[in-house]
Each structure stands twice: as structure tokens, then as C-alpha cells.
Amino acid sequence: MGSNFYLIGWIVLMLVILVILALIGLGWDTFFGGVKKGVEKIGNLPEVKNLTNKAKNEFGSIIGNSNSTLDIVLVIKII
């Protein structure tokens, strides 16, 4: 079990190093511009849109069924 944590730690460390090197090599604007384009492409997928709409509906039904602001605060803290 402990070795799994070390492996995950090394993977995360390598990903952080790769992102830092990409930022240095590409520049701030270019890197985040590419990330933004990728997020937009993923956001336009029908599966993601359906999932987003389902989440909005569920969240709306939870908020709509609450009788006080305390319920809303608890829902936000859980999410």
C-alpha cells in the first residue's frame, strides 16, 4: 500500500515538472491559450453538455426543495 503512494507521488511530481517546463518553453499566454482551446473543445462534446445539464438539474432540484439557507450552505459544503 505504501509503495502505491510513492508511485502516485512520482507521477504527480513528473506532471508538475512537465507543466512547469511547458510554461517556460511556450510562455504564459501560449500555454494557457492552448489549455483554454482544449477546454472549449471538451466543453462542446455532447456527453459533457448532457452531464452538465444533468448536474444543473439535480443541483436545482436540491436547492428548490430546501426550506432555509442552512440547507443551501450544507449542500455547497458537501459539493
Q: Does the pLDDT value for residue 78 go beyond 90?
A: no
Q: CB–CB of 73/64 below 8 Å? A: no
Q: SS3 of 66, please?
A: coil
Domain range summary for the chain, segments of one domain joined by +: 1-44, 46-79
DSSP 33-59: HHHHHHHHHHHTSHHHHHHHHHHHHHH
pLDDT digits (tens, 9 = 90+) for 4-55: 888 888 999 999 998 888 888 888 788 888 888 988 888 888 888 888 888 8
The residue among 71 and 20 whose pLDDT is bigger is 20
Rounded mean pLDDT of 57-73? 64
pLDDT digits (tens, 9 = 90+) for 12-23: 999 999 888 888
For the ranges 53-57, 61-65, 72-76, the lowest mean pLDDT is seen at 72-76
Q: Return the sign of the alpha-carbon dihedral for residues 11, 13, 15, 21.
A: negative
Name residue 16's amino acid.
V
